[in-house]
Amino acid sequence: MRYLTAGESHGKQLTTIVEGVPSQMPLLSKNINESLVRRQKGYGRGKRMQIEKDLVDIAGGVRHGYTLGSPIAMVVKNDDFKHWEDIMGEDPIEPEKDIRRKVTRPRPGHADLNGALKYGHRDMRNILERSSARETAARVAAGAVAKTLLHHLGVEIVGYVKEIAGINAKQTNHSMEEKKTISEESPVRCLDEEAGKKMMQAIDQAKKDGDSIGGVCEVYVEGMPAGIGSYVHYDRKLDGKIAGAVQSINAFKGVEFGIGFEAARRNGSEVHDEIAWDEANGYYRKSNRLGGFEGGMTTGMPIIVKGVMKPIPTLYKPLQSVDIDSKEVFNASIERSDACAVPAAAVVMEHVVAFEVANALLEQFPHDQFPKLQQAIHTYREEIRCF
């Protein structure tokens, strides 16, 4: 399974094509819309999210509620396009009608300057339109297809917020269902309610200060059998693929599995997860400090992965930069931006992880037809339980 996305932030629409989804899998627009709506809802976002009402139009690959096995095409309209038609249209503009104001002032922390140097655009709108995290709506659409597939294979996945601006959520003991409800309903998507309130205050304060803040998201995957992924080549290690997908989310700067960087400070006896077996469950671990991976393969324990998001680069509080035309130093000022997108990013992270996890299952089992994939995974689960 693979996917591509196309579309600019203030262009007509975002398009996602997912290829390699098995035939005969139940799939409804509703499955995708639930994810799109969740991505839009996080606390701390700017005015753009009041303009957009992300809903999918499935334009190919699904008939009467089931996948065909052909590529799935999905479209999400940009409602903001109506305000940008003159600036973002595809037709050439007559010089006297050209109302475009060139963007020549790169923002520190965004893709503006490096993108301009690479693609040779002197109007950095040509960079920021595509580097914008608006594109994550298209990725969430792809991830929602993967989540639907996982759900029908007995694998559930949820993303939530662990930390914002140094405020840490306490370890909680919620079930998967509870985690999902909180991720759905809490504005800041934090499992620890008290910490969540403080996070919202920190976001309000950052807004007041014209600043931005970052944080840490966590994704939790339950129900994956052991032995998915592979150790035989660097590019078949599933933890590596997940890390790459998480790191590729706009503004993400690092990834950890389980206790993550803490492993560097502990002895081996306090890091590795002891192996046990019983008739009902087969092999299991007495702890899950390694976050569900050994040797690039799942251990059968929940996958626990964290991603670090830096603060949003577009700031009301100006940072210094250089105009690429005049070379003058200026203080960047902006019209609108998110102050904190960590709660929204938790949903994005959930979906990019879902895609990698689903794809690993497809790579390992015959998958042209969904019912046969279900059967193959069921048989494998039985085999490894008694192994």
Ligand X SMILES: Cc1cc2nc3c(=O)[nH]c(=O)nc-3n(C[C@H](O)[C@H](O)[C@H](O)COP(=O)(O)O)c2cc1C
Ligand Y SMILES: C=C(O[C@@H]1CC(C(=O)O)=C[C@@H](OP(=O)(O)O)[C@H]1O)C(=O)O
Known binding site: residues? 39, 45, 130-132, 250-251, 295, 310-314, 336
Lookup: tokens for 267: 């002895």
By CB under 6 A, is residue 137 in contact with ligand Y? yes
| Rounded Cα gap, residues 229 and 303, in angstroms | 13
The CA distance from 103 to 116, in Å, is 11
Q: Which is nearer to ligand X, 126 or 131 (CB)?
A: 131
CA–CA separation, 141 and 146 (whole Å) = 9
Near ligand X in 89-108, by CB under 6 A: none
282-321 mask for ligand X (x: CB under 6 A)?
A: ------------------------------xxx-------
Tell me: does residue 40 bind ligand X (CB under 6 A). no
Binding site as annotated, residues for FMN? 130-132, 250-251, 295, 310-314, 336
The entry of ligand X, ligand Y, none near residue 249 (CB within 5 to 8 angstroms by kind) is ligand X
Task: Give the β-pairing of 62-63 and 66-67.
Answer: antiparallel
| Nearest distance in Å: CB 62, ligand Y | 24
CA distance 39 to 49: 10
* Interface of this chain with ligand Y, residues 7 to 26, rule: CB under 6 A: 9
5 binds ligand X (CB under 6 A): no
Burial 161-195 (b: 16+ CB within 10 A, else e): bbbbbebebeeeebeeeebbebbeebebbbbbeeb
136 binds ligand X (CB under 6 A): yes
CA distance 344 to 348: 7
Give the integer Cα–Cα distance in Å for 291 and 258: 4
Q: Which residues bind ligand X (CB under 6 A)?
A: 46, 109-111, 131-133, 136, 249-251, 312-314, 337-338, 341, 344-345, 348
Q: Which residues bind ligand Y (CB under 6 A)?
A: 9, 46, 48, 52, 132-134, 136-137, 250, 336-338
